[in-house]
Amino acid sequence: MTYYLTTVLVYAAVDILACLAISLQFGVSGIVNFSFIIFQAAGAYTAAVLSLPSDSANGGFQTYILGLNLSFPIPWIGATVVGALLAPPIGLVVLRRLRSDYQAIAMLVLSVIASLVVTNTPAFLDGAAGLSLVPQPLSDKFNPYSDGYLWAYTIGALVLAVIVFFIAQRVINSPYGRSLRAMRENEVAANALGKNAVALKMTVFIVGGAIAGLSGAILVGFITTWAPSTWLYPETLILFAAVIVGGRGNNYGAVLGALLVPVGFEEATRYLPPFGPPGLIPALEWVCIGGLILGFLWFRPRGVLPERRRVFPARPKALAAGEQHAGRD
Amino acid sequence: MPVETDVVDAGPATPQQMPAERPLLVASHVSRHFEGVRAVQDVSIDVLPGRITGLIGPNGAGKSTFLAVLAGTLPASSGTITFDGHDVTALPAFRRARRGMVRTFQLPSEFAQLTVLENLLAAAPHNRGDSLVGALLGRRYWRADEDRLVEQARVLLERFRMSAKESDYASSLSGGQKRLVEIMRALMLRPRLLLLDEPMSGVHPSIVGEIADYCEALRDEGLTILIVEHELHMIERMCDPVIVMAQGSVIGQGTMAALRQQREIVDAYLVG
């Protein structure tokens, strides 16, 4: 039971982080980053190869680069940094010249290419087989199979999700967040008002990349394996569905979406009695995810918890004078 | 003042328009082509400070394209643009805006899901919280700037009699109100040159006159305005001089009254 609960909660923390990052990029800034999952994968692979020993260890049954055997928290920090560093090259190619719909297609293609490259270069990150036996953080000091360790890991993951939530709150409630929202609404107009849209997009792309990298590190540290099959491009669509359902541009909405879709929805379908041919239930899950996206975009496009309206406190003087500036029609 | 050889010069508009007056904006032989289509062809104009210069012409004359080239929204295919003595031809739109050239758009371009007040604040420069680092440092770091800019925005809202709408989403406004928001938003940058692209189009007639009043008041305060507009009676009332474009080129300039005397211009535009 402990393992099940902690697994669900760690996945919840990872999905919350991912949804917060997507909400910042897509919900607040209007960047349709369909390559999001490769940032999470980059973080997971980085944390893995920084914490794994040389690939000649364990009988050399897997091949990978680095294998530096570094202790926690360096692999997690490395994962966060690599997630952030991956953003500029992708951003410079995709975000500078392409319109947002073409950006989305280019990102999707990048995601497919990245998966194919890793799968077909076994010497890089062990190809399709992926990495396994990734050392868990501090597993040399504590028993990673004990209940105490599992709960400590879970609490650590949730605390990181809370910290990132507050960082995301600072971003969206600041003048910088307002500039991101202005850019989302009308990039050409924002440019004409002195906003450097490319720089704005790049910074939020880097922040999202860093959060994605951290989420990958947390996940791989818990499940101890990572392979291309875990980060196929449809995983990004689930996270987008979560943000659309929860509420774009609202961090509370991102958290709610993470809990409802990737965690709640997938856990709920786990308990369905088996029916139909093998593979039908997972296929129907995808149908339902697609239906969720379409349904919300049609009936409630701003999600369960829409982006909140920012109302500024009135000036006391104006209140006292009973400001009478008639509205126009 | 650079003048096309085939341009009808309707003469100096007013005694103030003397050669000694240094133009704030000089466009010299500016062209903009779209894969063979010559939307703007070798256009040269001067925009004198402290005036409202009108830019008129039939649909498809290239006025809005020319305005977009001046503002940097579209790059020029050739020619140079000088603002306050500095060549800004290679500068992107956001840098020109920061130098004081701010434009509005032919179609409403409000930030729809931001409130009216936020629309104004989004345009405001010099806010310490308007960067990632500033945002991460927290409200205490940028609150003073924000308070100052909120105050500045509210003064504008009062002036344009839009205070009651400050917390409404911009998407909920009428066409005329959206135009006013765009003008206020541009004014938040404290521009030196305001480029207005058909600010009166699609606007209720009662607000058309109001927009003209605001333009004249801003001019009287020293702001230079270049306005593209089809409301000719308003152009006649506000603008001095008026530049006429047709088929991508300037075909005349002067006062509206003088332009009306030019048969070529009347044929090309004024009576269709």
pLDDT given at position B178? 94
pLDDT given at position A185? 96
Question: Would you give the DSSP letter of residue A28?
Answer: I
Type of residue numbered A155: I
Q: Does the structure show a pLDDT above 80 at B12?
A: no
Q: Does the structure show a pLDDT above 60 at B5?
A: no
Band (B270; pLDDT cuts 50, 70, 90): low
| Mean predicted confidence (pLDDT) in A251-263 | 94
Q: Does the structure show a pLDDT above 80 at A327?
A: no
Residue of B113, B116, B120, B182 for testing the chain A interface, max A β-carbons within 10 Å = B113
pLDDT given at position B121? 97
B145 and A170 within 8 Å at the Cβ level: the answer is no
pLDDT given at position B115? 97
A176 and B177 within 8 Å at the Cβ level: the answer is no
Rounded to whole angstroms, the Cα distance separating B260 from A115 reads 68
pLDDT given at position B9? 52
pLDDT given at position A277? 86
Average pLDDT over chain B reads 90
Decide if B234 contacts B240 (C-beta within 8 A).
no
Q: Does the structure show a pLDDT above 70 at A324?
A: no
* pLDDT tens for each residue of A73-86: 999 999 999 999 99
DSSP A166-232: HHHHHHHTSHHHHHHHHHHH-HHHHHHTT--HHHHHHHHHHHHHHHHHHHHHHHHHHH--B-GGGS-
SS3 A113: helix
B129 and A191 within 8 Å at the Cβ level: the answer is no
pLDDT above 70: percentage of residues in chain A: 95
Which of B105, B112, B174 lies at the smallest CB-CB distance from A185?
Answer: B112
B167 and A311 within 8 Å at the Cβ level: the answer is yes
pLDDT given at position B47? 96
Type of residue numbered A42: A
| Angle at alpha carbon of residue B48, lines to B47 and B52, rounded to 5° | 80
CA distance B88 to chain A (A): 14
Both tokens assigned to A259: 């809990």
* pLDDT tens for each residue of A5-42: 999 999 999 999 999 999 999 999 999 999 999 999 99
All residues of chain B having their beta carbon less than 8 Å from the beta carbon of residue A307 are 113
Q: Which residues contact residue A23 at a Cβ distance below 8 angstroms, ignoring those fewer than 6 apart? A: A168, A243, A246, A248, A249, A250, A251, A253, A254
In 3D, which of A140, A109, A120 has the Cα closest to residue A34?
Answer: A109
Which residues 81-140 in chain A show a CB within 8 A of chain B? none
DSSP strand pairing (B242-246 vs B52-56): parallel
Q: Residue ranges of the alpha helices (H) in chain A? A: 2-22, 36-51, 74-94, 100-120, 122-125, 147-172, 175-185, 187-192, 197-223, 234-246, 251-258, 266-270, 280-299, 316-321
Average pLDDT over chain A reads 91
Both tokens assigned to A8: 């669900």
All residues of chain A having their beta carbon less than 8 Å from the beta carbon of residue B71 are 192
Whole-model pTM: value is: 0.89
Residue A328 or B117, more confident: B117
pLDDT given at position A101? 85
Question: Would you give the DSSP letter of residue B156?
Answer: H
All residues of chain A having their beta carbon less than 8 Å from the beta carbon of residue B125 are 194
